[in-house]
Amino acid sequence: MARLSFLGLIRDQRWKVEPVERADLTGKTVVVVGANVGLGFEAAKHFASMNPKRLVLGCRSRERGQAALQAIQATGFKHAELALVDLSRFSSVSAFADAFIRDGSQIDIFVYNAAVSLFKYSDTVDGWEESIQVNHLSAMLLTVLLFPCLLKAVSSGTSPNPRVVIVSSELHYWAKFSRKEVESERILRVLNDKEHCTFRVMATRYHITKLLNVLFVRELAKRLSQNSPVIVNAVNPGYCKSQLRRNMPLPVRVFDKIMEVLIARTTEEGSRQLLWAAVGGAGRESELRGGYVNKANLQDVSDYALSDEGVLVQRRIWDESVEVLSRFEPKFQSNLGEILPSHS
């Protein structure tokens, strides 16, 4: 499926969600970023039921993170811990990763679930439109910075194929870059331009960031050595009841509430897709590399992502993001040099 109509979305939503994919996580470390509510919290609870050695909840708010931690501990699982990270600050992302590097941690499963959906331009302390930074740039930065921990899971013998799961969305099927963006010298620079970010542009900004997730996963998988043990994929949890859309304008929120009643999955049902991407697909590891997970299976990404323009944009976005993140964090550049055979 490389296209998605509105009727196709409804059919997908009516699909009977498969039971949770289960695995024995004894001795393994699982990190879920964006774990205090919604999909991340439900996924963390499922991971906790599989007996990992360590379950790390990456959360922005100490109060909400502590509440999530206590709820998981109340199930009887005692190996969960809270780690604070503000994805709208590159310095916080680096500090989060540094803590794992310093204590010599291995990471067997890393789930990047955090995202924001904004309809008005809002910039971060680092000078980026917030959803571009949180949903895309910080996902890329954190994945690359944590790569040594993923590789350590291989050398320690706990995971032959550690996994990185980036939560995307079916909305990427309805996203494409404008002519102004594609024909510009720097796509990210235009996406970050406040004058460019009109209400009309911001109305589909979340869609664009979910496309950016897909493009990042595909390009990273393409650039990794074929012998790399780390599997990186993107996953669609489906349309779920969520606090994500709380910033929508009132008319859109009303429509969204109606849609939630009619077709939305629960966040627990959506979290099962994250679990499948993290521990499912046994015997299909080669397909999972750079794959897009939907309905407990692998599916084609959008026509745009597969088009000649989409493939070119994918490379450009990669190069631009590397340039941005390397200026901020030298370790990002050095890690790329170690994990990508052709990176210089």
264 assigned to some structural domain: yes
What would the pLDDT profile of 245-284 be if each residue is shown by its tens digit?
A: 566 665 666 656 766 766 778 999 999 999 999 999 999 9
* pLDDT value at residue 103: 94
Which of 90-104, 135-149, 231-245, 262-276 shows the lowest per-residue confidence on average (mean pLDDT)? 231-245
Burial class (CB in 10 A: 0-12, 13-18, 19+), 13: middle
Task: Decide if 304 is catalytic.
Answer: no
Q: Which domain holds residue 303?
A: 6-10+21-337
1 assigned to some structural domain: no
Catalytic member of 28, 210, 241, 331: 210
The CATH number that applies at residue 186 is: 3.40.50.720
Catalytic member of 131, 159, 168, 169: 169
Task: Decide if 169 is catalytic.
Answer: yes
Contact 75, 47 (CB under 8 A): no
Contact 140, 92 (CB under 8 A): no
Whether this prediction's pTM lies above 0.85 is answered by: yes
Give the pLDDT mean for 312-319. 98
Task: Decide if 210 is catalytic.
Answer: yes
46 assigned to some structural domain: yes
As for how many domains the chain has, the answer is 1
237 assigned to some structural domain: yes
Catalytic member of 112, 121, 173, 206: 206
Burial track 108-132 (b if 16+ CB lie within 10 A, e otherwise): bbbbbbbbbbbbebbebebebbbbb
* pLDDT value at residue 240: 76
342 assigned to some structural domain: no
88 assigned to some structural domain: yes
Kindly report the average pLDDT of the chain as a whole number: 93
Give the pLDDT mean for 111-126. 95
150 assigned to some structural domain: yes
Q: How many CB atoms lie under 10 A from the CB of residue 289?
A: 20
